[in-house]
Each structure stands twice: as C-alpha cells, then as structure tokens.
Chains A and B, each alone.
Chain A
Amino acid sequence: MRGLLPFLASRLLRAAIALWLVSTVVFVVMRLSGDPVPLLLPPDAPRSEIFRVRAELGLDRPLPVQYAVFLGHVLQGDFGRSIHFRQPALRVVLGYLPATLQLGLTAFVLAALVALPIGVISAVRRNSFVDQAAMGLALVGQSAPTFFIGILLILVVSLNLGLLPTSGRESWRHLVLPALTLGAFAMASIARLTRSAVLEVLRADYVRTARAKGVSEALVIAKHTLKNAAVPIVTITGLQFGTLLGGAVVTETVFAWPGMGRLAIQSIYNRDYPIVQCTVFLSALLFIVINFCIDLIYGLLDPRVRAS
C-alpha cells in the first residue's frame, strides 16, 4: 500500500483544481454576458426596481467580493433560482439526473458487453476477416459524429424498419437507440484498446512458454492472456464512462431523452442561466468523481501507476 496515499492526494488535488477552474470559467463567462437583471424584470420596470434587484443579487459589489460570494454559494450547492421553473436550480437539475444516469449506464454496459469479446476475438484471430471488419467498423465508430449516428439509427431502425420508437422515455424500447448512439464511441474505443492490450500480452514470454509446454490454446487465452490483460482493459473501459457523459448532451437532444443534457440545451434557449450553470457544474463534478474512482481502482490494482 506504500505510495497509495500520496497518489490519491495528488489526484484529489487535481480534481479540486479542475472543479475550481470550471466554476471560475462559469463566473467569468456569466459576468461577460452583461447585466442579467433586465431578464428577470418586466421591460417597463422602474429604475429604482432595477437598482433594488441589482443590490439584492449583490451585483453592485466589487467583482472580487462577487467572486468570493459566488464560490461560497457553489460550495453550498446554491446555483440560484431557475427563471423558467421558479425553483432552486439544483433541485430542478437533480430531477433530470436519473434519466441521464440510466441512459449513460445502459450505454456503457452495452458498449462493454459488445466491445470486450470483439476485442479479444480480433486479437486472437489477428488479420482475419472478423478482425478487419470489426476494426474497420471501430474506426468509423470513433470518428463519426455522435449526432449523425443517432440520425442514421432513427432513419433506418425506426422509420424504415419500424422496429423501435424515435424519441421519448416510456419503455425499455425507447432506451435502445439512444444507448447505442451514446455508446458507439466508447464501444469502438474499448474494442480497439482491448485488442491491443490482448495482443501485447500474447507477445509476452510467459505466453510463449505456456505454448511451448503444450498448454492448449484455449487455456493459454483464458488463463494466461486474459488475466494479465485485465488491468489495462478495466482502466480503459472505466475511463470511457466519464467521456460518455459529455456525449449525453447530443444524444439526449437527438432522441428527446428527458435528461440533464437536453435540459441544458433547452435552458440555453430559455435563457435560464442558473440551470445552465448548474448542469455544467454538476456534470463536471460527476465526471471528476468517476475519474477519481477509476484512479483509485487503478492505484489499488497496479502499484506501478502510483510511482508516476
């Protein structure tokens, strides 16, 4: 366990700095956007009323003070009141969180279940037809824009074949296409990285020794290869989960999935900035917490990473 604590401390520090940076950017951008008060009041509000609201929101104080107050509020989870929903922003956003988590988890599990076996088969049967087809598809999955994958799935699966609904969140059938779309990039990445991780191990001396001893090929793969390739694969797969959350904004918009990402986009159109702020910050927090947990697991599994 030596070295684990300093490793965790440095990761925790990095996470804290990232969150502080995100909140600072949010603050700077909000201030650049100009005076929010006219948005909150009817257009014919008297000047005295404008000054009263400005003072109420603390906008008449010097910028450093405003910044300190803002950071204090963020620490308490206070992102102001939603203009559109007339409720605290955090409460509104938390209401949309389960849908996003459901979609994200499904996409992630789907991606891992499909990609892991494909990656292993591609490595074991290197340069076979299956390998080349799978890796070709993976390249497309990695570079095709998420939103267009969604549009193509809607066009082919929903509209032409009539198999699944195009949008909404009523049953598991509504979940399939969004999960596939959101998971496509992760699926492609996991398949490619699993393949190279397994190939790496297949080249190792102990695998050659096992073969030389006459161990059957199935046992070589199952016992000697997969067990040793597992650590990098678990890490890579875990890291994909965090990245996946960024794609939720696009996928939720394409499929009208009532989650946090779609809420963020709609709030932009409504000019409901407290909600936008809160979704950006909450997603950042979620992403950073997930990455931190993966670092933790990685640090426990593989002592070598603690050194770096």
Chain B
Amino acid sequence: MDSSIPASARADTSAAGAPAARASRARRTRWMALGGGVFVLVLVVVALAAPLIAPYDPIRQSLRGRLAAPTLAGADGKAHLLGTDHLGRDVLSRAIYGARVSLLVGLAAVVVGGIVGASLGLLAGFRGGWTDSIVMTLADAQLAFPFILLAIGIIAVLGPSFPTLIVVIGLSGWVTYARVLRSQVLVLRSREFVDAIHALGGSVARVIARHILPNVLSSLVVIATLELARAIVLEATLSFLGLGVQPPTPSWGGMVHEGREYLDSAWWISTAPGIVLMLTSIIVSRTGDWLRDLLDPTLRGE
C-alpha cells in the first residue's frame, strides 16, 4: 500500500507533518531573511559611503583610458577592477555611485507609495460609502492597466527629474498598502472597543495609532520590502529607456544603456551594473518573500 504512494507525496506529508522538519525550515527562512536584511544594509552603507569607497571620481573622463578591460594596470597606469567605459570613466566607481540613485529613488518611492496608499486605505475604511467605492474603483482601475505605459507618458511630458521619478514610481505602488489598511479598519470597526473609545471621547487618530498600525505593521514591512525591489527595477528600466536619471549622474539602468553600443568590444560596461541590479532585485524581493513567510503568511495570495 505504502509503495503505491509516490516518493514526492510521501516527502510532502512528512515535511508538513513532522514538527522538527517544519521548525528547521522556519529556522532556515529566518536566516535567509536576516541575510537579505544584511545585504540591504550593506547596500545602504555602500551608497552612503560612496565617496570613501569608490576608487575614482565617477564622472571624470579620461580619453587615454577609454574602454579598458577589467585590469589591475590600465593604459593610464591605474587599476580598474571592472574596466572603464566609452568615456574612460571607472565602471566600479560608477556602479558604487549608482547604488545611491537606486536606493534614493527606491526608498523615497516606497515612502510616497506607502503614505498615499495608507492614507487612502484608512480613509476608505473609516468613511465607507462613496469614499470607499471611489478609492477601491481607483485601485481596480490602476491594476487593470500596465502602469509603465502611463509612467512613460507622464515622464515624457513633464521631463525626467528626481521628484517626478519618485512620485511616478511611488504612485505606481499605492494599491497594496491601501487594501491592507482598509481591511484592517473594517475588521476593527466591527469590534465594540472602537465604539467604546469613541464614546469615551478618544479620537480617530488614537484608534489608528494604538490599534490599527500595530496590527498591520508586519504586513507593511513585507509590502514595503517587495515594493522596494519593484521600485528599484522600475527606476532602472526608466533610466535604461532614457526617461529616468539623466547622464552624467551614474545609475545602473543608465549604465546598461550606455554600454549597449559597446557590447561587442567592451561587454563589462553593461554587464557589471546589470548584474549588480539583478542581484539586488532578486535578493530584495526574496527577502520580502521570506519576511512574508515569517511575519504574515496571510499575504500569500496578494
């Protein structure tokens, strides 16, 4: 009888059933999430300390040292661990400074999206009725449309700048925050203690600060992490299309774009920042998944 059950099914039941196996998996997830957090921290330190870490000025050009392959002793007699680009700028230094752009735009966009989404979610939850319908219809409509097209249209007209980029990327991600906060408000509003607080003269702000935010904090952390990965990739994509951070400021997406014409002869110009970007995106979004498994498994369906 037992032999008719395929090995995969057996492994499955044992993994779900045995507490020891589940505990070891939870432990591994915890370590992974911690590792992801450390990676983000390292990235923040690199971005902040860019002037101290970067071996050269990221925008200083050198005609003699153009298109040098990764080397310890280039034509200009200096080490370029990741080579130089078509203007003789050090690729490693540019990639280090590029982390500043990615993190600045990414984190700021997450804050913008979080504030807008959380406010609209709270508003929809507390007000109900028409306000609720309007906010939720907006959310549905935005999800029913590939936002990058609209972002491209908006930036095309307004012109690329840091504030435009941050607002556009931030607004592209407000929906998830709004949904989580709204449903939390709806859950709490049905409880008697909220009415009691009102009756005792407690303000809405107090209900939000004392009862709603603590309940959604872990969900917010998970959403913000996943949004950070999305924002970083969207910024890089816009910069790659020439609609994001403008040269000579180094950004990962912009660097991949600049190296596009030299893929033949100088592959490192595009590949180095591209790999850094890809790793960042994968690690940050995986960290979001791990955090979700640890803190808030109910978000899985989102």
Tell me which of A143, A147, A243 contacts B229 (CB under 8 A): A143
The size of the chain B interface, using a CB distance under 8 A, is: 48
| Cβ-closest chain B residue relative to A148 | B274
Complex: A284 Cα to B148 Cα, angstroms: 11
> Could you say which residues of chain B place their CB within 8 Å of the CB of A246?
146-149
| B1-33 interface (Cβ within 8 A of A) | 4-6, 8-9, 11-12
Q: Cβ of B286 < 8 Å from any Cβ of A? A: yes
| Interface check A33, CB cutoff 8 A | yes
B106 CB to nearest chain A CB (Å): 13
> B282's contact among A21, A140, A264, A276, by CB below 8 Å, is which?
A140
Top 4 closest pairs, chain A to chain B, by CB: A246-B146, A268-B156, A18-B141, A33-B157
Q: Report 14 cross-chain contacts, Cβ distance below 8 Å, ordered by A residue.
A: A29-B157, A29-B158, A139-B282, A143-B286, A145-B233, A146-B237, A147-B241, A148-B274, A152-B274, A250-B240, A250-B241, A273-B157, A288-B145, A291-B144
State whether A145 and B236 are in contact (beta carbons under 8 Å apart), knowing that A18-B144, A26-B153, A246-B148 are contacts in the complex.
yes
Interface residues on A, range: 35 or more
Binds A, one of B88-96, B188-196, B204-212, B256-264: B256-264
A92 at the A/B interface (Cβ < 8 Å)?
no
Q: Are A29 and B153 in contact (CB under 8 A)?
A: yes
Q: Which of B12, B150, B158, B264 contacts A159 (CB 8 A)?
A: B264
Min CB distance A33 to B, Å, is 4
Verify if B105 is at the interface (C-beta below 8 Å from A). no
Whether the Cβ atoms of B152 and A14 lie closer than 8 Å is no
Contact A280 B150 (CB under 8 A): yes
Contact A249 B256 (CB under 8 A): no
B140 at the A interface (CB under 8 A): yes
Q: Does B271 contact A (CB under 8 A)?
A: yes
Q: Does B253 sit at the interface, judged by CB under 8 A? A: yes
Interchain CB contact under 8 A, A249 and B236: no
Q: Please list the residues of chain A having a beta carbon within 8 angstroms of any beta carbon in chain B.
A: 14-15, 17-18, 21-22, 25-26, 29-30, 32-33, 124-128, 139-140, 142-148, 151-152, 154-155, 159, 202, 211, 214, 217, 242-243, 245-247, 249-250, 253-254, 264-265, 268-269, 273, 276-277, 279-280, 283-284, 287-288, 291
What residues on A are CB-neighbors of B285 within 8 Å?
142-143
Report the minimal beta-carbon distance from B180 to chain A, rounded to whole angstroms.
Answer: 19
**Assembled-state Cα–Cα distance A288/B146 (Å):** 10
CB contacts (< 8 Å) of B237 on chain A: these are 145-147, 250
Q: What separation, in Å, do the CA atoms of A145 and B264 have in the docked complex? A: 21
- The docked-state distance in angstroms from the alpha carbon of A32 to that of B170 is 19
Chain A contact residues: helix, strand, loop or mixed: helix
Nearest Cβ on chain B to A41's Cβ, whole angstroms = 19
Docked Cα-Cα span, A146 to B238, in Å, equals 12
A188 smallest CB distance to B (angstroms): 12
> What's the least CB distance linking A142 to chain B, in Å?
8
Query: A145 is contacted by which of B156, B271, B281 (Cβ under 8 Å)?
Result: B281
A284–B151 CA distance with the chains assembled, in angstroms: 12
The 8 Å CB contact of A202, one of B9, B154, B243, B260, is B9
Q: Which residues in B have their C-beta under 8 angstroms from that of A284?
A: 145, 149-150
Further contacts, 10 of them, CB under 8 A, given A17-B141, A29-B158, A128-B8:
A14-B144, A21-B141, A21-B142, A22-B150, A124-B8, A145-B274, A151-B271, A202-B9, A246-B146, A265-B241
Partner of B267, one of A15, A155, A283, A291: A155
Partner of A151, one of B145, B149, B263: B263
Chain A residues contacting B144 (CB-CB under 8 Å) are 14-15, 18, 287-288, 291
Contacts of A242 in B (CB 8 A): 146
Distance in angstroms between the alpha carbons of A161 and B73 in the assembled complex: 29
